[in-house]
Chain A
Amino acid sequence: MAGSPIVIVGAGQGGMQAAASLRDAGFDGPVTLVGAEPQPPYDRPPLSKQYLNGEVDAAALALRTPAFYQNQDIDLRVDTRVAGIDRANAAVVLDSGARLPYERLILATGSIPRRLPVPGADHPGVLVLRTLAQARVLRDRLAAPRRVVVIGAGFTGLEVAAAARSAGHEVTVIEALDRVLARAVSVPVSEHVTRLHRGRGVDIRFGRQVEAIEGEADGPLRAVRLAGGESVPADLVVVGIGVVPDTALAAEAGLAVANGVVVDAYLRTSDPAIHAIGDCALFPSPFADDPLRLESVQNAVDQAKCAAEFIAKDGLAARPYSAVPWFWTDQYSDKLQIAGITTGHDRTELAGDPEQGRFSVHCFRGERLVGVESINRPAEHIKARRQLAAAGTLAGAV
């Protein structure tokens, strides 16, 4: 396919990897990587961890050096917004009006933080954490002592809570459900993570609905008001109630969209000239009964490699996407690692000792092992990934 241009929209982990992997796979035509953010692709997970607590600075987050893009002949365009996709003429239209013709297009548009639908949520003291620019604001605000209220006990919210608490701030976490990470992990792991936070002095409140965020219109925040009248004083609120896939471009272009851009096993959208990868893609997986949409570095990177190989070989001897999903989070000095898709399990087996802070939860649906969650047991996690990969290959072959 030499000479036929490939355009990648979205310069996060997935978009960058797709560009690099196209070259690795021997594709020598033009590759253009378009990103809306002002800086070249960077490592996002540290934003809520080492960047927030000051261990690393922004310069250290770059995924590749400027020389890399030059040497690989990747046309990286940062600070560049896409206005639409002209499918009839196979071109991406930029905000500037410029057109980028494509033979193949890869959508790696990622996800955007879900907004809190309550009065006061647009107060400048209410922050979300997704981009480097947002992380910079949060880090600056945490330079002085604060009463921080985190809304949502998901991965990002808890990582922010851990970083803020470690820096000495007063931290309260408000969660609507009855345990932390409720949609992501089993009960024993939830309990362990809750103990970690409470042991460090984080005030976690379960089963609470946020009704409003109160503060002066042009002044400081005052409090987070909960249903039932309870009020939590706050100088700073961080909302971490999940993300939604950024499907706007795909939907406007008439591609099939559900909870994500719908793709087939080769990550092709309803238009076979367009692939979608990473956070924005809804894909079939041997590791789940229903189509999956995953928000992880692993998923972005592995899907980028899969799509790049498909495109570089023009679909010849193509392999369906079948990577084992895995994920990790740092909570203080503890490491939680998840292999497989554990949601929807109906039985668990515990290995190791939660009291010692080192254990794994093996999650089953019926007889089938669907995933393993480990606390401070990396070898167990790696073993589980290999085990699931072998089983997944088997399931795919049947």
Chain B
Amino acid sequence: MPQITYVRTDGTSDTVEVPVGTSVMRGAVREGVAGIVAECGGAGMCGTCHIFLPEEQRLARGIAPIHPLEDEVLETTSCPRRENSRLGCQLAVTERCDGLAVDLPEHQVLP
């Protein structure tokens, strides 16, 4: 099973096994990893599984580019989006994701 690391802004991180066919969001939520909220449960409609994914990582792991609806939701995240912002729920996990590390924003909902 691919291992994915979730790195928080305070430097702490969790590395968990994520089943192929699920998503980068689901991988964190099913283990109770702090820093991903996923209010909508993966429908790509709430912007609370915001993560940062470096472009070279995306390409190396064959992860699909941003869909227009995902792009729209990223405009509403509680931490301002950056160039490498993605929604974790839209990132399908494949074997190629083994060893992937993503950064989490400071918060997912307005404090």
Does A383 contact B76, Cβ atoms closer than 8 Å? yes
A68 to B76: give the CA distance in the assembly, Å.
30
Residue B75, interface by CB 8 Å: yes
Does A328 contact B43, Cβ atoms closer than 8 Å? yes
Q: Using an 8 Å CB-CB cutoff, how does the interface string of B18-46 with A read, 1 for contact, 0 for none?
A: 01011000100111100000011111111
Residue A4, interface by CB 8 Å: no
With A335-B45, A378-B45, A382-B46 in contact, do A60 and B32 touch (Cβ < 8 Å)? no
With A328-B45, A379-B75 in contact, do A56 and B69 touch (Cβ < 8 Å)? no
A71 to B33: give the CA distance in the assembly, Å.
12
Q: Using an 8 Å CB-CB cutoff, how does the interface string of B81-98 with A read, 1 for contact, 0 for none?
A: 000000000000000000
For window 1-36 of A, CB contacts with B under 8 Å fall at 13, 20
Residue A64, interface by CB 8 Å: yes
A301 to B42: give the CA distance in the assembly, Å.
14
With A301-B39, A335-B69 in contact, do A64 and B45 touch (Cβ < 8 Å)? no
Does A379 contact B72, Cβ atoms closer than 8 Å? yes
Does A64 contact B39, Cβ atoms closer than 8 Å? no
Q: Which residue of A lies closest to B21 (CB)?
A: A60
With A43-B42, A301-B39, A379-B72 in contact, do A68 and B22 touch (Cβ < 8 Å)? no
**A279 CB, min distance to chain B CBs, angstroms:** 15
Give every chain A residue within 8 A of B76 (Cβ-Cβ): 378-379, 382-383
Give every chain B residue within 8 A of A379 (Cβ-Cβ): 72-73, 75-76
Q: Which residue of A lies closest to B72 (CB)?
A: A379
Give every chain B residue within 8 A of A89 (Cβ-Cβ): none
A65 to B19: give the CA distance in the assembly, Å.
11
Q: Using an 8 Å CB-CB cutoff, how does the interface string of B42-73 with A read, 1 for contact, 0 for none?
A: 11111100000000000000000000010011
Interface residue from B19, B21, B30, B45 paired with A63 (Cβ < 8 Å): B30
Residue A251, interface by CB 8 Å: no
Interface residue from B30, B32, B73, B75 paired with A62 (Cβ < 8 Å): B30
A43 to B89: give the CA distance in the assembly, Å.
14
**A118 CB, min distance to chain B CBs, angstroms:** 34
Give every chain B residue within 8 A of A382 (Cβ-Cβ): 45-47, 73, 76
For window 321-349 of A, CB contacts with B under 8 Å fall at 328, 330, 335, 337
Q: Which residue of A lies closest to B70 (CB)?
A: A378
Give every chain A residue within 8 A of B44 (Cβ-Cβ): 335, 378
Residue A377, interface by CB 8 Å: yes
Give every chain A residue within 8 A of B22 (Cβ-Cβ): 56, 60
Does B45 contact A68, Cβ atoms closer than 8 Å? no
**B111 CB, min distance to chain A CBs, angstroms:** 15
15 contacts between A and B (CB under 8 A): A13-B41, A20-B32, A43-B41, A45-B41, A59-B19, A64-B30, A65-B31, A71-B32, A72-B32, A328-B43, A337-B45, A378-B45, A378-B72, A378-B73, A379-B75
Q: Which 10 A-B pairs have the closest CB atoms?
A: A382-B76, A379-B72, A378-B73, A60-B22, A60-B21, A378-B45, A68-B32, A65-B30, A328-B43, A378-B72
By a beta-carbon cutoff of 8 Å, the part of chain A in contact with chain B is: 13, 20, 43, 45, 55-57, 59-60, 62-65, 67-68, 71-72, 297-298, 301, 328, 330, 335, 337, 376-379, 381-383
By a beta-carbon cutoff of 8 Å, the part of chain B in contact with chain A is: 19, 21-22, 26, 29-32, 39-47, 69, 72-73, 75-76
Told that A328-B40, A335-B69 touch, could you supply 5 new A-B pairs with CB distance under 8 A?
A: A43-B41, A63-B29, A337-B45, A379-B73, A383-B76
